[in-house]
Homo-oligomer: A and B are copies of this chain.
């Protein structure tokens, strides 16, 4: 850091679920105003979902901007996770110290199960400014693709990460459950989901929501050998309490655009 540089700010930008048109005006303006753009080098086991590609489709000028690819692979090894995050935060802070504003592109929204939030905390702990620009979540986008609401008026909505599903989740409570990142994790939930449907509930499965290879699965298509990829949203609605509520269980046709 030179003696004269005013430190930059880190912006965690939610770029939405995949469709470049689901970036907000604020995301576009903030990315444009930052000197440096950074993003995880690869995200998702398929390697196909890249935050930078999505944002570049909305902002062609992004390709010419100085970029910082950060090595943040998914792992359950806590020491490796911490070391990678520290290294990424240090690389970001180096830019901030030089006076550059930095944006980090994250799929969906930064406050809901994002890797960004750990970098946000590390960078803030080093004394730099860090701000969040919210984005469209994948479950809101999945509901839009399915063409109906997620939850009826007086019911709660439960957002459940993949890891939690593996620990054994009860779907007997009130309200709708949204299971996130349900690629392999859905296998542990299959019997419960089928039972929910037998009891009058409704289950919908959206893989790669809002991306060109989006696919809507039926529950009975899924087997241990044939299952959707990592970026899969399962929406599990309870059986309607009153007959009038049945219209809420995807009575309207599925929207594909």
Q: How far is the CB of A103 from chain B (nearest CB, A)?
A: 14
Copies of this chain, count: 2
Q: How far is the CB of A185 from chain B (nearest CB, A)?
A: 11
State which size class the interface on A falls in: 35 or more
Of the listed stretches A20-28, A63-71, A92-100, name the one at the interface; the rest are far from the partner chain.
A20-28
- What residue in chain B is nearest A109 (Cβ atoms)? B140
Task: Tell whether A222 is near chain B: CB-to-CB under 8 Å.
Answer: no
**Residue in A19, A26, A150 whose Cβ sees the most chain B Cβ within 10 Å:** A26
Complex-state Cα separation, A130 to B248, whole angstroms: 14
Which of B23, B124, B149, B253 contacts A112, CB < 8 Å? B149
Complex-state Cα separation, A140 to B12, whole angstroms: 13
Which of B25, B140, B147, B151 contacts A14, CB < 8 Å? B140
Complex-state Cα separation, A121 to B255, whole angstroms: 13
Residues of A122-177 whose CB lies within 8 A of B: 124-125, 130-137, 140-141, 143-144, 147-151, 153-161, 163-164, 167
5 contacts between A and B (CB under 8 A): A23-B25, A110-B149, A117-B149, A124-B251, A157-B158
